[in-house]
Amino acid sequence: MEGNKLTAFRSELTPDATKWGLVYRAVIGPFRTRRAAKWAEEHGWANPHFYHVNDAERISMGVRS
């Protein structure tokens, strides 16, 4: 992992430490849309508006609340 980089990926299995622990420190998801997953990958790190998958879904659509 390069510093604090977020990477979107697809997994048929539910990610956990035994499957992905050596690769990723944390995993968030699943996302309903690819758009939200890409938004989280590009803009999610240290973003105070992004705490949950639903935040990425809402923000990636341009909806304000």
Q: Would you say 57 and 32 are in contact if contact means Cβ atoms under 8 Å apart?
A: yes
Q: CA-to-CA distance for 13 and 24, rounded, in angstroms? A: 15
Contacts of 48 (CB under 8 A, 6+ apart): none
- State residue 57's pLDDT score: 94
> Which residue spans within the chain are E strands per DSSP?
none
What's the distance, Cα to Cα, between the start and end of the chain in Å?
33
Each residue's pLDDT tens digit, 47-60: 999 999 999 999 99
Instruction: Please answer whether residues 56 and 39 qualify as being in contact, where contact means their C-beta atoms are separated by less than 8 angstroms.
Output: yes
Whole-number pLDDT of residue 50 = 93
Indicate whether this model's pTM tops 0.75: no
Tell me the per-residue pLDDT of 2-45, one tens digit each, with 9 for 90 and over. Answer: 567 788 878 777 777 787 777 777 778 889 999 999 999 999 98
